[in-house]
Structure 1
Amino acid sequence: METKKFGKDDLAEAAALIRAGEVVAFPTETVYGLGADATSAKAALKVFEAKHRPADNPLIVTVADPAMVARFATVTPDAAKLMAAFWPGPLTIILPILPGALSMVVTGGLQTAAFRMPASALTRALIAEAGVPIVGPSANISGKPSATRAEHVLHDFDGRIAGVLDDGPTTVGVESTVIDMTVQPPAILRPGKIGPAELAPVIGEVQSDHHHVGAKETPKAPGMKYKHYAPAAQVVVVDTPAQFPAAIDWAQASGQPFGVLACDDILTTVDPAVPTYTLGSDVTTATHALFAGLRWFDLHPTVTLILAQAFPADGLGAAYMNRLLKSAGNEHFSQD
């Protein structure tokens, strides 16, 4: 299969492929998604096959406008408030689906589904042109770092999907916040750019303990059950900047080829012979660069260990640390 690269002038062709049941990757402000007709079980199965995604990991339903959600789910008053306040934008809302409205393939067998209206005008135009919502899991092989550029998508899926709609690099860099509106109080199941401080003034109390599911439990949202975002090398989280000299000494003593993923102030102290990728200057730039950095090390297969900088897990740092810890399998550097 030839994977075509589409631009804004190719929307009609890309939308026709969606209607024909093919898979087309698309841009959002967070990461690139892997799109297919959300009303077609057959099309959704192609996404699972392309990603090597477990069947009990539900797919996000990506829409062009809030009215599209009402065709498939019960929109509660508080959910409508969230849509008015944060859509289009990096917020995914879990709602109860209408009977028979969506295939259980899409929902992971649940009677709920996650809906998102991205900030990308290009993707909203694609959905409107196709006339159907599209499933929108991140456009990466399951378990690997998410794609923040069309080139990342092609690295994983060239020859395996019909096309990718290119709108340049994403701006946020990590996936959307997921909030479950089927429980009381509503619960954040995956942290993102929009946090409790922004949500609570709109809908009141919000749980933010980031629920984890058991081995036999079906997750309501992506990223809750399986190891995610992991490059080929083992990631080790360095909890504070002050620990980096000792962490580097430890990595050198281990004899493993290693690299460092950190902000510029730390990288200036690293031996130039060590492969490095900059996270910029702060948690905002680090969140934007995290997945690109993890993918960059995959292009340097001699590196088998990555020392990665941590940030305090509050505000945007909660989203950054959620992804970093998953990529590391919770491995931290310890001087003990």
Structure 2
Amino acid sequence: MGKINTRIVKINGINPEKELIEEGAKFIRAGKLVAFPTETVYGLGANGLDEAAVEEIFIAKGRPQDNPLILHVSSLEEVKPLVKEISKEAEILMKEFWPGPLTLLFKKSTLVPMIITAGLDTVAIRMPNHPIAIELIKSSGVPIAAPSANTSGKPSPTSAEHVIEDLYGKIHMIMDGGTTGVGLESTVLDLTVETPIILRPGGITLEDLKEILPDVELDAAMIKDDNKLVPKSPGQKYRHYAPKADMFVFVGQVEDIVKAIKERAGQLIEEGKTVGIMATDETEHEYERGVIMSVGSRKNLGTIGQNLFNVIRRFDERKVDIILAEGVESFHIGTAIMNRLKKASGGKIIKV
């Protein structure tokens, strides 16, 4: 793939300039790739009905083709041609949580190319809650296939700078709409099975969904690593969100976590290693040695979600050898944060 002259445009995140949106839409219609912000992370968009354009996403990211993509729509009406049927539960969830960070799995129609679904008969669809994303989809006139706009396996991009770092010269346009809000990819919910299953936790939590679907469950595959898994959703297989350094995540009572990290950091520093410590606002002052960064507040786990991928990238910039990260409690958004930390560390979780 030859180097592409990537156009970077600053675009208003609240009232996006029509001419810039139309420029991006022209690229999408022409089968080109455009990175754009959503409320979760930056997406790498292509015409979701154009197989050749979608193939370019996999090439630009270096993404395995057995990893399905999400189709993004700008209205409920746009879902109908893409799916075989819309259940009553799906209708309720779309009205309640769309636009927003919830992706729903449906049985796909013949309109959806197999490359989108990795050969499966289900398709993942969501409506993003971001003016730039919505206007780009509307203006393009097609559903936009968009995984996160990063090199496959690296931390997801929450700013245009992250996209530039990973994809400059590989895609046609980067829409810089500032930093994203949620900072973690959308929740993926499978409605094609008898008991609705969360395949990937995100900004819409298990607790949120239980208010509408009392029997909803977390996917067992999230708890165990299985390389034979056929992923029905992005983020189910492969090491994701990974720093260049080895990463270990400590879980338990906060004071025990801090004590264990301090001890391990001391040993590693004595061995001549550069150690990154991913602390929280409440604990940051307790560490004296290492490259110490707070990822956010335990009193507001949403801040940890927003900052997580950016902090991982900053440790990469500081060229640390090992990252020792504090875990959080697995409830509400904490479930999604721990899921990303587990993936980023390749499952290296230390219980203290």
Structure 1 stretch 240-249 or stretch 122-131: which is displaced more?
Answer: 240-249
1:262-315 CA distance string (max 9 Å, x none): 1123221223x63222212222211111000001111122x1101111001111
Matched, 1:228 2:240: yes
Aligned equivalents of 2:286 and 2:226: distance in 1? 42
> Structure 1 120/210 Cα, relative in aligned 2: closer, same or farther at 3 Å?
farther
Q: Which residue, 238, 241, 251 being the options, matches 1:239?
A: 251
1:176-224 CA distance string (max 9 Å, x none): 1000000011100001121222112223310114435743442110011
Matched, 1:249 2:261: no
Q: Which residue, 68, 71, 86 being the options, matches 1:75?
A: 86
Q: Which residue, 170, 174, 193 being the options, matches 1:164?
A: 174
> Alpha carbon RMSD of aligned pairs, Å?
1.5
Structure 1 stretch 254-263 or stretch 174-183: which is displaced more?
Answer: 254-263
Q: Which residue, 169, 184, 191 being the options, matches 1:174?
A: 184
Q: Which residue, 108, 124, 134 being the options, matches 2:134?
A: 124
Q: Which residue, 293, 299, 316 being the options, matches 1:277?
A: 293
Can you give the 5+ residue segments of structure 2 that lack an aligned partner in the other structure? none
Aligned equivalents of 2:56 and 2:48: distance in 1? 11
Q: Residue 8 of structure 2: SS of its match in structure 1? A: strand
Instruction: Give the equivalent residue in structure 2 for 1:57.
Output: 67
Q: Which residue, 296, 299, 310 being the options, matches 2:317?
A: 299
Aligned equivalents of 1:219 and 1:143: distance in 2? 15
Q: Residue 303 of structure 2: SS of its match in structure 1? A: helix
Q: Which amino acid aligns with 1:122?
A: I
4+ residue stretches of structure 1 with deviation over 6 A?
A: none
TM-score by length of 1: 0.95
Q: CA deviation at 1:248?
A: 2.2
Aligned equivalents of 1:230 and 1:217: distance in 2? 20
Structure 1 stretch 256-265 or stretch 123-132: which is displaced more?
Answer: 256-265
Aligned equivalents of 2:202 and 2:90: distance in 1? 17
Q: Residue 70 of structure 1: SS of its match in structure 2? A: helix
Aligned equivalents of 1:284 and 1:133: distance in 2? 29
Identity of aligned residues (%): 40
Aligned equivalents of 2:287 and 2:121: distance in 1? 51
Q: CA deviation at 1:111?
A: 0.8
Structure 1 stretch 259-268 or stretch 64-73: which is displaced more?
Answer: 259-268
Q: CA deviation at 1:257?
A: 1.0
Q: CA deviation at 1:333?
A: 4.1
In the comparison of the two structures, how many residue pairs are matched?
Answer: 332
Instruction: Give the equivalent residue in structure 1 for 2:43.
Output: 33
Q: CA deviation at 1:254?
A: 3.6
Alignment of 1:103-118 (within 5 A): 103-118=113-128
Q: Which amino acid aligns with 1:183?
A: V
Q: Residue 81 of structure 2: SS of its match in structure 1? A: coil
Q: CA deviation at 1:244?
A: 2.8
Can you give the 5+ residue segments of structure 1 that lack an aligned partner in the other structure? none
Report if the CA contact (8 A) 1:82-1:203 is conserved.
no
Q: Which amino acid aligns with 2:182?
A: V
Aligned equivalents of 1:112 and 1:25: distance in 2? 25
Structure 1 stretch 255-264 or stretch 176-185: which is displaced more?
Answer: 255-264
